[in-house]
Structure 1
């Protein structure tokens, strides 16, 4: 008896979709030339990395992931370099890509696509230490819907390319419109100081060389426990307001040295001309510190990006300098008791006031 063995080989038949070619952006010369910027870099900052598209390419089969030929950043940078005139003497701008996504669905041989696109533009620079900085300028968002035959894919590349061009056109319009008036785009800084020398009848005496202190300005009661003949309360402050004109930040600063009447006092039995001069010199020292502060606020000492913080820092440093100089004055004159030292300080103070043009 013969035994016949049959071997049955089953071959699973799997249908393979053709491999989809990556999307290549077609080079195109853009119809505008930037006069304020060039695109220095493009970075891909999408939250969902990977292929930008899910395309329906074969009837009755799942969508396929398809990416730009060189990835988002390199493809966009290449397109920009080829199609946009890049003058590297202008402001360097970074393009940050936050969203670039195509999703398709197919019904028979008709495909519906949805495209979303979001980028931002940042001005690149460097701080005083040489570290790179970036300042957010402008955002662009776009979206599109389309339908296409399943065997025709040209609309995909065209949709991406037109969105990229639209974002660059939007940036160009923004830069042309804002370059002369937006503080973020200013190229230089100018400072105007306004001295507050008003002569008023209220509690505040603003420093004015034509208006010396009188004993009538010392209106507070003597401080309990103090053995001094008098005390004068002086201080200084500044206020600032900035505008931008023709790409220049104009910083208008109002600086004032002042004395408060209701915080200053003098004993009735010591109100002499000599004692009043000692208190006036405290006020003069405050004015000297204001003038020194003004000279620290030179445009070369400030940065366009952080001039306000630098001004605040210089103000605090000047305030500390004021306290040191006032203490030194009282220590060396022994609160006016040392007449020789008082005369030296009188001359020293007048000399510096002349240097600043406060007195002749």
Structure 2
């Protein structure tokens, strides 16, 4: 997953008291996190929840207290939390800072790291380091939250021990950068990231190539020929055997938030597995085997009509297609067995004629033949 790079900032800000009251020599007050102008005209998201995943939730900031007398060393850093806690403060910060127009995607922010750590330096100064790591999840309408991306950032500042005014603005800017990053990431990813797609649009074409030496793809203008039966004849009661099947392959790409799913259907005969007995190369027998091939094309047409934009979801379109294919494959085998059983493998001419007319009618209904 993409990670935002660190951006270290050194801020020089007016000494404005942004803590709740002045900081006395005792325990520090909580920090009030103020909203920030983000410069975002239209947000791509709304924050629905903030969850604190930090191992240590004692506080957000560890700040050095002001010395009790001039020239005395500072005491150890004191825990200083955000008003309302880390999750509550960040939730309010996001809702107050983002534009009022709600974005279409509902985001859960997970706090992985949020810490301000100060150390004493010479001259009665404190040096602070802000570390931010946030994970952003999309609360999908259907299904569990989906992790989209993470942000890592931070800042550094220096301040007099007597004035903590720079702490909150530095933290505020680091969090504002995280929200701006997410908005930009969503804007760029929405058009090409399949996880953010909102719909699936399938398109179909049939493979009719004549370039495979052992595979003949179905083409209404090129029916079976006896020369396609290259397998060695087998002893038994059958005049000929054809080996048809069908498959599909897909190439998805995301265009403007929609998965354009280009599917190629392959209805084929394996030549080396198809054979004809000696003296059985008659037009009648060839028609019987052609109808086996036609039945597969009809099943492929039915499969195509089941794989619609309404039936496919962004999350599961591949598994839905695989399930429909397995059902269609079962249907193909059932129809082939029924066809051979009723025509007695082509020996019942009257029944064969009824199947011929039935198959032709369905092929015309699907627009395969005129």
Shorter-chain TM-score range: 0.7 to 0.9
Q: Which residue of 1 aligns with 2:13?
A: none
The 1:332–1:239 alpha-carbon spacing in structure 2 relative to 1, beyond 3 Å, is: same
Partner of 2:146: 135
SS class of match (1:93): strand
Deviations 1:228-266 (A, max 9, x none): 222111111112112222222211111120111111111
Deviates more, 1:37-46 or 1:68-77: 37-46
1:50/1:34 CA distance change after superposition, 3 Å? farther
In the other structure, the counterpart of 2:83 is 69
User: Which residue matches 2:291?
Assistant: 281
**2:3 is matched with which residue?**
none
TM-score, structure 1 as length reference: 0.88
1:66-121 residue CA offsets vs partner (Å, 9 max, x unmatched): 21111112111111211211434622222222111122222573222222111122
Deviates more, 1:249-258 or 1:335-344: 335-344
Counterpart residue number, 2:161: 150
Shift of 1:139: 2.0
Distance, in Å, in 2 between the alignment partners of 1:89 and 1:343 is: 62
Indicate the SS of the match to 1:311.
Answer: helix
Q: 2:308 aligns with which of 298, 311, 326?
A: 298
Which residue does the alignment assign to 1:20? 28
Quote the offset at 1:211 in angstroms. Answer: 0.8
Which residue of structure 1 lines up, in the alignment, with residue 282 of structure 2?
A: 272
Gaps of 5+ in 2: 1-23, 68-73
Q: Residue 228 of structure 1 aligns with which residue?
A: 238
2:224 aligned counterpart, secondary structure? coil
Counterpart residue number, 2:197: 186
Partner of 1:270, secondary structure, is coil
Q: Measure, in 2, the Cα distance between the counterparts of 1:85 and 1:144.
A: 25
State how many pairs are aligned: 340
Does 2:233 match 1:219? no
Q: Contact 2:36/2:172 (CA < 8 Å) preserved in 1?
A: no
Per mean C-alpha deviation after superposition, the further-off stretch among 162-171 and 29-38 is: 29-38
Bigger radius of gyration: 1
Scaled by the length of structure 2, the TM-score of the pair is 0.85
SS state of the match for residue 357, structure 2?
A: helix
CA distance in 2, matches of 1:110, 1:214: 92
Q: RMSD between aligned alpha carbons?
A: 2.1
Runs of 5+ unmatched residues, structure 1: 1-15
The equivalent residue for 2:95 is 81
Higher relative contact order (CA 8 A, sep 6+): 2
Deviation at 1:207?
0.4
- Give the equivalent residue in structure 2 for 1:173: 184
How far apart, CA to CA, are the structure 2 residues paired with 1:259 and 1:118?
57
Q: What is the rounded CA distance, in whole Å, between the counterparts of 1:173 and 1:236 in structure 2?
A: 44
Asked if 1 retains the 8 angstrom alpha-carbon contact of 2:239 and 2:276, the reply is: yes
Q: Distance in 1 between matches of 2:103 and 2:139?
A: 13
Match of 1:352 in 2: 362
Q: Is the 8 A contact 2:44 2:103 kept in 1?
A: no
CA contact 1:100–1:117 (8 Å) conserved in 2: yes
Could you report, residue by residue, the CA deviation over 1:273-332 in whole angstroms, capped at 9, with x for unpaired residues? 222111111100110111111111100000122222222222222212211221222222
Give CA-to-partner distance per residue, 1:6-46, whole Å, 9 cap, x none.
xxxxxxxxxx9613211110233332133432222222222
